[in-house]
């Protein structure tokens, strides 16, 4: 066979506009390994998220220029790939059943990367309506490659895309739980509330779908030392830098308001099961809060601004940054143009971003352009917090835990579902009057939810 191979350089791409360098975290391919186009060759760590660099050609991995843990500037060479000519690639192709048989025999017992899917694999599986959990992976640590998906398709497993489970009569499906029910208002008596009481509103204040997970961080230190040394990751270093910059540059002030969310608890408990069946995602309190916040920002656009030394820039699009915590860090993905989404759309965005964050699948685009931050601190039982502003935004809002409390309504004591909303503000841009009015509008929006509220 003649040598038709050609070496090409692979450069560190500019994954985001502001990115000037990235750290090579792990090589997924070693010299001599066969590579398919779009198949990830390495993982890189940026100051925002971890990302994968895919191969742009079919070939064989050559020399690794960059070492694991090395920081490489944008545009610098990280490795070389030997390109396979068309004739050679044809000669190594095998029938689908042969590939599938080999795949099943070469699957490693190490399946630690079984659930790590590249964008190319995900799009290919979606195109053919495949469930990635059913496809055997022959890549490193059980990872599924494009070749695995194509072999699975050629083996006769391709299906048409699954039809949407959303009912054609959306309005009827959403309103059906409310048929025959009367409206509930803030002046409801205790006996009326008991009749509609749901076990989902816990007395402890937690309103999670499941008990909070305990972080399982195992940190190894040097034997005999009285302390443990933890290396600072690029993400943690960025968090530290931004928090220090926020506190040192922004004159923080904060305020809090109490909200009666009894109606919100009732509507959510009535709709959540139906919504889960129709949409396949959870209907959380956060989706209703985001809608209330977005509508309040529309009334007070100055909340959606940044400080620019000699001017204040008010952003036109309302892009909500959503703080999502993992075992070892906090990421802030962004719901783009949240003002153009309804409650159902916001619920889907929350589920999607939270899942991608916890699975380490966030892209840099998911982290860009936030104009106002919301944090659901109540998900782990907090009832009061003083959040640090997500620099350079003007404000950050936290939604605290929903707790049943005795409150006075029309000179009578009633048990209501109550929650605190806390707001930290940049006092260069915002003052107490405007923020007080903004919080009052959020409160009105939250307490304005009724059994007739539409999700779509």
Instruction: Tell me, yes or no, if 183 is annotated catalytic.
Output: no
Dihedral of alpha carbons 365, 370, 374, 375, sign: positive
Bridge partners, 80 (sequence order): 9
Residues 6+ apart with CB under 8 A from 116: 143, 360, 361
Q: Give the β-pairing of 312-314 and 305-307.
A: antiparallel
Active-site residue, from 128, 157, 252, 427: 427
Q: By three-state DSSP, how is residue 450 classified?
A: coil
Structure tokens at 291: 């809608």
> CA of 69: how far to CAs of 45, 233, 268, in Å?
9, 11, 47
Other residues' Cβ atoms within 10 Å of the Cβ of residue 180:
5
- CA 455 to CA 37: how far, in whole Å? 42
Bridge partners, 314 (sequence order): 305
Specify whether the CB–CB gap between 81 and 35 falls below 8 A: yes
Other residues' Cβ atoms within 10 Å of the Cβ of residue 42:
23
The torsion angle over the Cα atoms of residues 332, 333, 338 and 344, rounded to 10 degrees, is -110
Instruction: Tell me, yes or no, if 431 is annotated catalytic.
Output: yes
Active-site residue, from 299, 327, 431, 452: 431
Active-site residue set? 427, 431
């Amino acid at each position: 066979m003649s040598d038709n191979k050609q070496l090409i350089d692979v450069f560190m791409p500019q994954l985001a506009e502001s990115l000037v360098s990235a750290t090579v975290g792990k090589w997924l391919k070693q010299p001599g390994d066969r590579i398919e186009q779009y198949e990830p060759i390495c993982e890189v760590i940026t100051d925002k998220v971890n990302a994968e660099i895919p191969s742009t050609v079919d070939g064989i991995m050559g020399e690794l220029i960059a070492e694991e843990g090395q920081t490489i500037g944008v545009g610098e060479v990280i490795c070389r790939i030997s390109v396979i000519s068309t004739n050679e690639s044809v000669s190594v192709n095998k029938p689908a059943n042969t590939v599938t048989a080999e795949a099943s025999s070469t699957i490693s017992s190490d399946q630690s990367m079984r659930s790590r899917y590249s964008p190319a694999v995900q799009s290919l599986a979606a195109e053919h309506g495949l469930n990635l959990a059913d496809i055997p992976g022959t890549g490193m640590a059980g990872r599924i490659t494009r070749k695995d998906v194509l072999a699975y398709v050629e083996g006769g497993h391709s299906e048409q895309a699954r039809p949407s489970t959303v009912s054609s009569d959306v309005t009827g499906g959403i309103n059906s739980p409310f048929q025959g029910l009367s409206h509930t208002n803030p002046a409801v008596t205790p006996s009326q509330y008991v009749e509609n009481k749901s076990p989902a509103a816990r007395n402890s204040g937690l309103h999670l779908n499941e008990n909070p997970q305990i972080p399982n961080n195992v940190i190894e230190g040097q034997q005999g030392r009285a302390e443990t040394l933890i290396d600072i990751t690029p993400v943690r270093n960025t968090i530290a830098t931004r928090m220090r910059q926020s506190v040192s540059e922004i004159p923080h002030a904060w305020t809090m308001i109490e909200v009666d969310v009894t109606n919100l608890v009732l509507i959510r408990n009535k709709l959540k099961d139906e919504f889960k069946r129709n949409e396949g995602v959870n209907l959380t309190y956060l989706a209703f809060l985001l809608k209330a916040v977005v509508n309040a920002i529309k009334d007070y656009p100055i909340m959606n601004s940044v400080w620019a030394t000699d001017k204040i820039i008010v952003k036109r699009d309302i892009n909500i940054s959503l703080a999502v915590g993992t075992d070892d860090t906090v990421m802030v993905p962004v719901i783009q143009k949240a003002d153009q989404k309804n409650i159902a759309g916001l619920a889907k965005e929350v589920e999607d971003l939270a899942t991608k964050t916890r699975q380490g699948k966030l892209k840099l685009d998911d982290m860009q352009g936030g104009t106002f931050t919301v944090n659901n601190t109540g998900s782990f039982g907090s009832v009061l917090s003083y959040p640090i502003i997500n620099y350079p935004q003007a404000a950050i809002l936290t939604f605290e835990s929903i707790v049943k409390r005795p409150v006075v309504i029309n000179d009578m004591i009633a048990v209501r579902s109550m929650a605190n909303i806390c707001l930290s503000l940049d006092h260069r841009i915002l003052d107490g009057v405007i923020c007080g009015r903004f919080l009052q509008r959020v409160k009105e929006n939250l307490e304005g939810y009724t059994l007739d509220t539409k999700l779509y």
